[in-house]
Chains A and B, each alone.
Chain A
Amino acid sequence: MSEKSPMVQEEGVDMPSPAAVVSRDDAQSRRPPVEQPVFSVRDLSVSYGKNVALKGVTMDIRPRRITAIIGPSGCGKSTLIRCFNRMNELIPGAQVDGQVLYHGEDIYAPGVDPVVVRRHVGMVFQRPNPFPKSIYDNIAFGAKINGYKGDMDELVERSLRRAALWDEVKAKLKKSALDLSGGQQQRLCIARAIAVEPDVILMDEPASALDPIATVRIEDLMQELKRDYSIIIVTHNMQQAARVSDETAFLYTEVDEATSARWGILVEFGKTGRIFTSPRDKRTEDYVSGRFG
C-alpha cells in the first residue's frame, strides 16, 4: 500500500496534505477558512465496455450545499454521481478517465483504496435498501465495519434523530427494518449513511420510489443535513431540483448521427435560481421549461 495518499491511510495518522481537513475526528477542521470545493471534476469520461456513457465533465462541487444533477433519462446522471464514491467500478467493464479531486486529492489515483473513499462519501440509493436486519443493526453496521469504538446506543439514537426518524422507531429498534414504510426505510438509509460520519452524501433519486408526503420529509431532511454535509442529488424531478438545491448541473444526451452512439455531456452548471430562470443554453431552457424530457 502506498503511503503517499491519505486515502489509503487509516484515521488518526498524521496527515499533512489538504485532505486532512476531512478527518472525522476533527469536526472543527471541516470548515476551512477559504471555501475550497469538496469535489473538483476534471474532464471526466466514463465508458462501459465500448459504450461511452459520459464525456468531458468538468465541475466543482461546493461544500455544505445541495448540488442537483438533472437531465433526461439516459444522460448519465447516475453514472456521474457514482463517480464520486467509485461505485461505478462494481460494474464489470466500467472505465473512468479524467480526474475527480476530493479536497484536492484524485480519488482515482493509483493506490487510493475505494473502500476508504466510500467511508468519506456516503450514498443513498433510488430504492430504499435497508439490510434484512433490525433497525438498530442497520445503523450500527457502518459504524462497526469502520471500527467505531464509542457508545453504539448513543450513535444509533443520534443518527436516527438526525434523519428525523427517532420518534417513529425508538420503541422498535430491534424490529426488522423491512417492516418500516418506504419513506421510513429511506430515512433509515440516510441515518445509516450519516452514522459513519461522511463528509459528502450522494443521493441517487432518493425520493423517486416514495409518495409525495414521504418525499417532502426527505426534502426537509436534506435542508437540515446540508448544514453539516455536502449533498449531491440526482433527480429527474425538476421541481424537486428547484426546491431543494443550491446549484444545478444539467446533463444532456449527445448523439453521434453516423454511429447512433449516445453519451451524456454536462451542458450547463450554476446556481439553481439562474439555471431555472435564465439558462444560457438553449437545451437547458427547453428542458427546464418542460418542452421535452
Chain B
Amino acid sequence: MLLRRSVRSAPSSLSASGTASAGVWRRKGVGRRADSLFAVLAALSGVLILGILGWMVVSTTGTALPVFGSQGISFITSSRWSPSDGEFGTLAFIYGTVVTSVIALLIAVPLSLGVSLFLTEYSPKRLKGPVGQAVDLLAAVPSVIYGLWGVFILLPLFLQPVSDFLAEYLGFIPIFKGPPSGLSYFGAGVILAIMITPIITSLCREVFETVPGADRHAAYALGATKWEVIRQAVLPRARAGIVGATMLGLGRALGETIAVALLIGSSVSIDASIVRPGYSMAAVIANQFQEATGDHIRALVGIGVVLFALTIIINMAARALVWRFNRT
C-alpha cells in the first residue's frame, strides 16, 4: 500500500514542480551505501580469485618454460625420466595417474551408486542417519591416514593377496600379468576408490533426493517395481548429477598425492599390467621435490602444469557431457 501510494503521488509532484522533485525517487541513508559497498566487495572477491588462478598459471608455466623448451614434445611423449642426464619424459607419470584414476572410478562409481541408492530408496529410516553420517565422515579423513592405513593394513591383508591371485589365475590376460606387486597401479587405484567413494556417494545421495516424488509416483502407479522405479524414473533424472559427482571424484583421484605415493610402488615405467608398480604425476612431485635442483625442479613444476591442464580438460569434458544430458 505504501509503495503504491508513493508511486502514484510521484508523477503529480513531478508535474507540479518540474525536475526539482526527482529526489522523491531516491532512497537515502546507510542502507543504500552498505548496498553499494557490498557490491564492490563481492566484485573484488571475484576478481581476486581470478587473479590468483591467473598468477598460478603464469608463474608455474613460466618456471617450467625452459624445460618445456629443451624437451619439446618429448616432455609428454617420452617415458625416459633421468634427471642426472637432463632427460625429462613424463609419460610414465601421466600414464600412472590416468590408470590409477580409471581403476578408482571403476570401483568407486558402482559402489557409490549402490550405497546412495540404499540410503535414499531402501534403508529404513533409523539406518539412514548413522550410515549417511559415516559416509560423510569418511570423506573428511585426511589422505595421509588413508595412505598409512593402506600400507600397513590393506597392503598385507588385501592388496598383496589379491594381486597374487590375479597374476596367478588371470595372468594370461595382459593387464593382470605378473610378477605381482601389492604396491601397484591396482593398489593405488583401490585406495583412491576408497577415498573418493564417500564424495561420490554423498553427492549422488543428494541428487537422488532431489528427484521429484511425482516421477516416482508416476512409475509406481504404472505398476513398476522398486527396481523399475529406480532404473526408469530415478536414474534418468539423476544422470547429469551422477556424472557431476563422478567428475568431482575423478578430480580428487587425479590430484591425490600422498596416499598414491605410498602405494603405487614408485617405479618409472609403463606397464600394461595393473598389478605392477608404476608412478603418478602428483606422487613424483611429492617424492622428488625435496632433493631436486635446477632443471629437475623446473621439470617437476612442468608436471604440475600438465596435471593442471589434464584436470581442466577432464572438467570441460564433464561439463560438456552434463550439458548434453540436460538437453535431452
Residue of A nearest to B237 (CB): A132
Stretch at the interface among B109-117, B180-188, B213-221, B254-262: B213-221
Contact B222 A142 (CB under 8 A): yes
Binding site for A on B (CB under 8 A): 125, 212, 214-225, 228, 232-233, 236-237, 328
B233 contacts across to A, CB distance below 8 A: 131
Known: A125-B214, A129-B212, A129-B215. A145 touches B328 (CB 8 A): no
Interface residues of A in 139-198 (CB under 8 A from B): 141-142, 145-146, 176, 189, 192-193, 196
Range, interface on chain A: 20 to 34
CA A118 – CA B218 in complex, angstroms?
A: 11
CA A92 – CA B215 in complex, angstroms?
A: 18
Contact B215 A131 (CB under 8 A): yes
The answer, among A85, A92, A146, A176, for a CB contact under 8 Å with B221, is A85
Contact A145 B224 (CB under 8 A): yes
B218 contacts across to A, CB distance below 8 A: 125, 129-131, 189, 192
Known: A127-B214, A131-B215, A141-B232. A193 touches B328 (CB 8 A): no
Shortest Cβ gap from A78 to chain B (Å): 12
A92 contacts across to B, CB distance below 8 A: 125
Shortest Cβ gap from A242 to chain B (Å): 27
CA A227 – CA B180 in complex, angstroms?
A: 72
User: In this assembly, does A122 line the interface, its C-beta being within 8 Å of a C-beta of chain B?
Assistant: yes
Contact B222 A87 (CB under 8 A): no
User: In this assembly, does A123 line the interface, its C-beta being within 8 Å of a C-beta of chain B?
Assistant: yes
The answer, among B125, B228, B237, for a CB contact under 8 Å with A145, is B228
User: In this assembly, does A133 line the interface, its C-beta being within 8 Å of a C-beta of chain B?
Assistant: yes
5 A-B pairs (CB sep. < 8 Å): A115-B225, A130-B218, A176-B328, A192-B222, A193-B221
B328 contacts across to A, CB distance below 8 A: 176
How many Cβ-Cβ contacts under 8 Å join chain A to chain B?
A: 66
B217 contacts across to A, CB distance below 8 A: 87, 90, 123, 125, 129
CA A156 – CA B223 in complex, angstroms?
A: 18
User: In this assembly, does A116 line the interface, its C-beta being within 8 Å of a C-beta of chain B?
Assistant: yes
User: In this assembly, does A119 line the interface, its C-beta being within 8 Å of a C-beta of chain B?
Assistant: yes
CA A193 – CA B223 in complex, angstroms?
A: 10
The answer, among B216, B221, B225, for a CB contact under 8 Å with A122, is B221
Contact B236 A123 (CB under 8 A): no
Interface residues of A in 69-90 (CB under 8 A from B): 85, 87, 90
Q: Please provide the 3 A-B residue pairs with the shortest distance between their CB atoms, ordered closest to farther.
A: A119-B223, A123-B221, A129-B214
**Given contact pairs A115-B225, A122-B222, A129-B218, a sample of 14 additional A-B residue pairs in the complex whose CB atoms are under 8 Å apart:** A87-B221, A90-B216, A90-B220, A115-B223, A119-B223, A129-B212, A131-B218, A131-B219, A131-B232, A131-B233, A133-B236, A145-B228, A145-B232, A192-B222
Binding site for B on A (CB under 8 A): 85, 87, 90, 92, 115-116, 118-119, 122-123, 125, 127, 129-133, 141-142, 145-146, 176, 189, 192-193, 196
B224 contacts across to A, CB distance below 8 A: 115, 118, 142, 145
Contact B220 A87 (CB under 8 A): yes
Contact B222 A145 (CB under 8 A): yes
Contact B236 A145 (CB under 8 A): no
Most chain B beta carbons < 10 A, residue from A116, A141, A145, A146: A145
Residue of B nearest to A117 (CB): B223
Shortest Cβ gap from A209 to chain B (Å): 11
Contact A118 B221 (CB under 8 A): yes
CA A127 – CA B215 in complex, angstroms?
A: 11
Shortest Cβ gap from A41 to chain B (Å): 19
B223 contacts across to A, CB distance below 8 A: 115-116, 118-119, 142, 145-146, 196
Shortest Cβ gap from B44 to chain A (Å): 40
Contact B232 A118 (CB under 8 A): no
Residue of A nearest to B326 (CB): A132
B212 contacts across to A, CB distance below 8 A: 129
CA A92 – CA B124 in complex, angstroms?
A: 10
Residue of B nearest to A86 (CB): B220
Most chain A beta carbons < 10 A, residue from B220, B221, B228, B233: B221
Most chain A beta carbons < 10 A, residue from B232, B236, B328: B232
CA A192 – CA B214 in complex, angstroms?
A: 14
B232 contacts across to A, CB distance below 8 A: 131, 141, 145
CA A196 – CA B225 in complex, angstroms?
A: 15
CA A122 – CA B223 in complex, angstroms?
A: 8
CA A129 – CA B221 in complex, angstroms?
A: 11
CA A263 – CA B10 in complex, angstroms?
A: 53
Contact B214 A118 (CB under 8 A): no
B215 contacts across to A, CB distance below 8 A: 129, 131-132
A189 contacts across to B, CB distance below 8 A: 218
CA A193 – CA B221 in complex, angstroms?
A: 8
CA A141 – CA B229 in complex, angstroms?
A: 11
Shortest Cβ gap from B176 to chain A (Å): 39
Known: A125-B214, A176-B328. A131 touches B236 (CB 8 A): yes
Known: A131-B233, A145-B232. A193 touches B214 (CB 8 A): no
B222 contacts across to A, CB distance below 8 A: 118-119, 122, 141-142, 145-146, 192-193, 196
CA A115 – CA B225 in complex, angstroms?
A: 6
Most chain A beta carbons < 10 A, residue from B125, B216, B218, B224: B218
Shortest Cβ gap from B230 to chain A (Å): 12
A146 contacts across to B, CB distance below 8 A: 222-223
Residue of B nearest to A195 (CB): B222
Residue of B nearest to A93 (CB): B125
Most chain B beta carbons < 10 A, residue from A115, A127, A133: A115
CA A92 – CA B212 in complex, angstroms?
A: 17
